[in-house]
Amino acid sequence: MPATVSTTRSRLPIHLVIFLTGFTFLLYEVSWNRLLSLVLGATVTASTIVLATFMAGFGIGAFFWGRVANNRRAVGPLLGGLLGGVGIFSGINYFVLNNVVPGIYASLGAGGTSSSVVEFLVFTLAVVILFVPAFLMGGVFPLVSKLAVSSNTEMAGVLGRLYAVETFGSTVGGLLTGFVLLGALGQLRTIMAAAGVNLLLAIWLALDPGFRLDDTREAEQQSSAANPSHPLHRPALLGAFICGLSILSLQVLWMRMFRIYLTNTSYTFALVSSVAIMGLFAGSALFSRRDLGRSDLRWTMFKVVLGVMLSTGAGLVLLLNLPELLMFPFTSVMGSPMARALVLPFVAAVLIIFPPSLFSGFAFPLACRMYAHGAGNVSRDVGLVLMVNTIGSVVGPLVAAFILLPWLGATMSVLLIMSLLGGAALVILRWQGVTGGQEYVRNFLYGGVALLVVLVVVSPNWRILPPSFSRFDREVLYYQESVEGTLSVGRDRQTRSRSKYTYVNNSAVIGSSYDAVKVVKMVGHFPFLLGLQCEDVLVIGFGIGVTTSAIASHPEVQSIECVELVPGLRKAAQYYRDLNHGIVDDPRLKIIPGDGRHYLQTSPRKYDLISCDPTHPILGSGSLYTADYFQQCREHLNPGGMVSQYLPLHKLRPEEFLGIIKTFETVFPHSTVWLGHYHAVLLGGLNPLPIDFVQWSDNVQKLGKDEHFYVNAYHLAATLMLDGTSIKELGAQSAVNTDDKSYTEFFNPDCLLEDNIGRNLQFLMKSRCDVGSIFRNVPRPDLLQRYLEGNRLLTESLYYKLERDDKRSLDFLKQAVRANPEDQEYPFLIKLYF
């Protein structure tokens, strides 16, 4: 007789199967989300639609396959077929998303098809190819439930354990994918590894007779089949729905709030997401250990939904006061930047996200136990409950992202979700019937829900601001929450300079220091100084418009298209008219909302200049520093066109710093690197860059005076650090940064060390190329040599400034004045810094 899976020992294979499926499903979800962000754009809109599609396929699959398996004995082969299909379609999906979709954009866009039509076709294709594997995935838990549950008496414990093992696998898969696999193996190998695991599981399930129901086992299930208790149906389905809706919508809102408070790295949010799944695991594991009588089930569901509501409220209080209660004290005792970047979000997520997720993890197996009273129908009933839970998981993020955030903001949205949870708890309590002390609970809950509704209607001014606003008591000039990000503009209250600061979430749009303004102006001006004949410009990332205004100052420019992920920055730009010269009023400027890289992929238009000044590559813009992105730029350049790109020296080890330069040079052999104090600029084009110095001087002279940018031909020429030849010589051992394996997104923790900027400065000083490779016919070679020596001494001064050795820093700056008295920037810096 074939082995039965009714004993505890023989359930171990089932637990291994459900663990590995949970592991691979999260691996796919993390990988697909990243891959789709490269194809469809790194926008909340795209990711939310994709997530909703995935969850919809999952829920429909749970309902369909649960009913299909209800009266089947060969459950193992059917389950194997589902997992084999997941593995096969996942491989196909990678090929389609990585090769077919870009081809659709290129062919249809070049053929003149409307961009809206192309987007519709691509999104439809993405929906279809994601729906199919999700539909197959949805059937796994109902089928595993049928294999594992033998009788009514063991149903609760078995379902709880199965869900706990699956969510534990998902937790491990999410953490391992985000922290190890994508960085070590790359996108393709990670997905193929998961597909391989699925195919091996499929073969095992198809061949092992232990995954088939024998006559004894089938008789046990059928004898346990019973008519469901109808009074428990409604609270079970309502609990499953409201917990799915609330947890997924709260994840959208929590992520938004954490992005405002925390360092925005891929690691940070892989960690936060995994903590939510850990909560589901803990809740389901707790349920598996509880011995609940049938009479307790509705009251238990009421308490669980109430627990989600109350723990969400406690988390919101902590979130609103996170800087003062946790971040500032925590930061002061954490010496390692990586520890601050990872341990802090983990602790915050455990305190804020874990408790509601734990209650939700308890609710799902509880709802299955309430609805599925007969073991003979367990796959059908569990599939229905999972579908209802998934419907909530589809509706939740869509409503949160596209309705609640723009309408109410993050804080009021959380209060509204709490009121919905309270309302659902009251409905369940009404179905339960109020007895004894429960009446006081009901009345208290009525008052609480009424208070929440009043708060949502009144909408007090509870804003989530970057931590620096409370640390330095900054005045809020402008605040806006949108689908794509939270925009904050602030100003120092007490300082003499009254400096202004602009943030999208917790990423500074522009630094307030002299060197930060200088480098963004270099990004805009230098292509023109090198003789670029430019009429049409694409700017990726408007910021507050300083780079764009530098480009617009050149009268030959006829059109400037600027793609900005958070279009509200156009309004923030009005606070920086002294820096951007009112660029938003320039008739040549057209601001296009969206992801800049995606716009390049969809647009057939070509440009004379593509300029990019993104946030730091390890803080969310890693995809704008890969060879794939640079190749996109190259394909959209007119003959003789150029690309200018901001290159940071901080938060990058010399390996990554040189690697980015090498990556840029592999696409643009005629590349140069220019140093603007603590930042650098990458310039590359399709033609050699040598320029007659007289022409360079004439171009510099045309800039006119600028109080934020020292205009001198020799001074600016002396900022040249590397040319194409020196990059080739230095970068022979450097790895090329690619979409498939990105070391800017999945970075080495040592990138956060503070001494990296000094090490990169030293690297540039030691590797400086001969300026004669770019500048020909210099009228005063002796004067250029003095400016080069002055620049060298300035860079030494900046290095010791970083080392907090003000004495040596000042000494080198004074030496720069003596070596190059013609350069007026040095006396200015002495006044500024000392």
Task: Give CA–CA dist 422/449, Å, rounded.
Answer: 6
**Residue 706, C-beta contacts closer than 8 angstroms, at least 6 positions apart:** 521
- The residue type of 499 is S
Confidence at residue 214, expressed as pLDDT on a 0 to 100 scale: 54
How many whole angstroms separate alpha carbon 424 and alpha carbon 418?
A: 10
Structure tokens at 135: 């539909």
Distance CA(548)–CA(667), nearest Å, equals: 24
129, 96 in Cβ contact below 8 A?
yes
Q: What pLDDT does 437 receive?
A: 67
In 594-738, where do the E strands start and end?
607-612, 637-648, 670-676, 679-685, 691-692, 720-723
pLDDT of residue 335: 62
How far apart are the C-alpha atoms of 144 and 820, rounded to whole Å?
78
Closest CA to 137 of 16, 247, 28, 246: 28
Alpha helix positions (H), 402-545: 405-432, 438-458, 467-471, 514-529
Rounded CA-CA distance 534/688 in Å is 16
d(CA 526, CA 521): 8
- The Cα 177–Cα 158 span in angstroms is 28
- Give residue 514's pLDDT: 85
φ and ψ at residue 538, rounded to 5 degrees: -115, 125
pLDDT digits (tens, 9 = 90+) for 747-801: 888 888 889 999 999 999 999 999 999 999 999 999 999 999 999 999 999 999 9
Measured between alpha carbons, how far is residue 587 from residues 300, 609, 704 in Å?
63, 18, 22
Report pLDDT digits (tens) over 366-380.
998 888 867 678 888
Of 745, 726, 756, which is closest to residue 665 (Cα–Cα)?
726
What is the pLDDT, as a whole number, of residue 481?
87
Position 4 scores a pLDDT of 42
CA end-to-end span of the chain, whole Å?
88
Q: To 10 degrees, the CA torsion angle through 394, 264, 404, 365?
A: 40
Report residue 366 CA to chain centroid gap: 33
Place of tokens 């409503």: 399
Strands 559-564 and 536-540: parallel
What does the alpha-carbon distance between residue 494 and residue 518 come to, in Å, rounded to a whole number? 25
Which of the residues in the chain have pLDDT under 50? 1-9, 215-216, 219-221, 223-225, 227
**Would the pTM count as exceeding 0.85?**
yes
Which one-letter DSSP state was computed for residue 735?
P
DSSP SS3 for 684: strand
- The helix (H) or strand (E) run that includes residue 781 is helix 781-802
- The confidence score (pLDDT) of residue 425 equals 93
CA dihedral 383, 387, 393, 398 (to 10 degrees): 160
Cα 582–chain centre separation: 32
> Strand pairing partners for 570?
none
The token duo for 159 is 């379902």
